[in-house]
Amino acid sequence: MLNNSSKVVGTKQVLRGMASDELRCVILSEDAEDFIKTKVKTQAEKSGVEVIVAPSMAWLGKECNIAVNAATVGIIKD
């Protein structure tokens, strides 16, 4: 799903994408900071966006083919 879909990476972009109803789901790293997880989960609940948990920020960054860890990734609606 991560390789074949348009996506946004980073908490600010994910929150912005949910607010503007552009995302179909959010991938949230299990080891992200608690305040980030709370913000993203709260906004996802308000927006009706599914949250998928990833094993780690390092794994999520690697799967997105970026050189840094990623706490959140949003998959854009088709």
Token pair recorded at residue 46: 């308000």
Q: Is residue 41 part of a domain?
A: yes
| Domain CATH code at residue 35 | 3.30.1330.30
Q: Is residue 18 part of a domain?
A: yes
C-alpha 8/C-alpha 45 separation (Å) is 19
Angle at which helices 34-47 and 11-19 cross, to 10°: 20
Instruction: Please state the domain count of the chain.
Output: 1
Does the reported pTM lie above 0.85?
yes
Q: Could you tell me the residue range of the domain that residue 29 belongs to?
A: 7-76
User: Under 8 Å CB-to-CB from 37, ≥6 apart: which residues?
Assistant: 28
Q: Is residue 43 part of a domain?
A: yes
Q: Is residue 1 part of a domain?
A: no
Q: Is residue 25 part of a domain?
A: yes
pLDDT band at residue 68, thresholds of 50, 70 and 90? very high
C-alpha 74/C-alpha 59 separation (Å) is 15
Q: Is residue 69 part of a domain?
A: yes
Mean pLDDT, residues 13-30 taken together: 97
